Amino acid sequence: PPRFVVIGNPVGHSLSPAIHAQFAMETGTALEYATLLAPMEDFAGSASAFFEGGGRGANVTLPFKIEALRFAASATDRARLAGAANVLTSTGGRIAADNTDGAGLIADLTRNLGVSLAGARIALLGAGGAARGVIAPLLESRPAALVIANRTLDRAEALAKEFASLGPIEARTLAGVADGSFDVLINATSTSTKGTPLALAPGCLARGALAYDMAYGPAAKPFVEHARALGARGSDGLGMLVEQAAEAFLVWHGTRPATAAVLATMRARP
């Protein structure tokens, strides 16, 4: 069967092998999917060895998504706009880059969480790689406004300028979103994964707004619980992880698997 891996460092904790295995079972697709730990300083060496050995596709996770885009010979528009790739595919040894993270976030928000993004006021917290990767797909969803809020205002302003042609985007400081006017607030800072939960100003969240953390599991818990305590709906990013995997499965196998059962399995894991 065709061989797939997720490349990262660390990568042992990755849920991608289990997710793709369950998609494979559900769709009757033959595949092998393993983890590949690349040394910090040699992503390209590991990726080359995998593809030269006949590997068909790779998911790429932290910290290699930017390098993955550079590594590929071609890239989709959405990978270019994200400035990063989480999917690499070999066609006769030629490597193409794609990015399904943004599509995964949109699918989780709209299909799983029932949010309508068209006409919504969205606050995106953070201005690093994780935030950049989802700006274009969020703007394509036709929100009334997308506010990039960041601790360092300069970085938010640079992103707002760069993506201005795609839709109504503006930059603010983190404190600048405390006016309670947002329907959806997305945490794309690295605070959850670094174990330093982001404190939201009480005025940040309107009642019934959705506060979404792109991290998942225990890392996202403080943010999600904090948001709920402020009267908002809260969700971690596990659904985004499963949906980006479904989008990658579509790229590789030509069919987009159903995600509900996989999401339930991942949610129930110990």
Active-site residues, by number, are 65
Q: Is 269 left (phi over 0), alpha (psi -120 to 50) or beta?
A: beta
Distance CA 224, CA 210 (A): 10
9 binds ligand ATR (CB under 6 A): no
Binding-site annotation: residue ranges: 14-16, 61, 77, 86, 101, 126-130, 150-155, 214, 216, 237, 244
- CA-to-CA distance for 72 and 52, rounded, in angstroms? 13
Is the separation of the CB atoms in 80 and 224 below 8 Å?
no
Q: By CB under 6 A, what part of segment 87-106 binds ligand ATR?
A: none
Q: Considering only residues 103-142, where is the footprint of ligand ATR by CB under 6 A?
A: 126-131
HSE (side-chain half, CA atoms, 13 Å) at 224: 15
The nearer residue to ligand ATR, 24 or 82, going by C-beta atoms, is 82
Can you tell me which of 9, 89, 150, 187 binds ligand ATR, judged by CB under 6 A? Answer: 150
Spatial distance between the Cα atoms of 12 and 147, rounded to a whole number of angstroms: 35
The CA-based angle 73-77-80, given to 5 degrees, is 65
Query: Which parts of the chain fold into alpha helices (H)?
Result: 16-27, 43-52, 65-71, 77-82, 101-107, 129-140, 153-162, 221-229, 238-253, 260-268
Q: Convert residues 183-212 into a mask of x (bound to ligand ATR by CB under 6 A) and - (unbound).
A: ------xxx----x-x--------------
- Indicate the residue among 127 and 204 with the shorter CB distance to ligand ATR: 127
Nearest distance from C-beta of residue 189 to ligand ATR, angstroms: 3
Residue 22 as a binder of ligand ATR (CB under 6 A): the answer is: no
Distance of closest approach, residue 62 Cβ to ligand ATR, in angstroms:
7
d(CA 43, CA 49): 10
8 A C-beta contact, residue 60 and residue 37: no
Which of 83, 89, 140, 97 lies closest to 117 in space, CA to CA? Answer: 140
Nearer to ligand ATR, 195 or 254 (CB): 195
CB of residue 177 to ligand ATR, shortest distance in Å: 12
Of the residues 21, 83, 112, 151, which one makes contact with ligand ATR according to CB under 6 A: 151
By CB under 6 A, how many residues form the interface with ligand ATR?
Answer: 15
Residues within the interface to ligand ATR (CB under 6 A): 126-131, 150-152, 155, 189-191, 196, 198
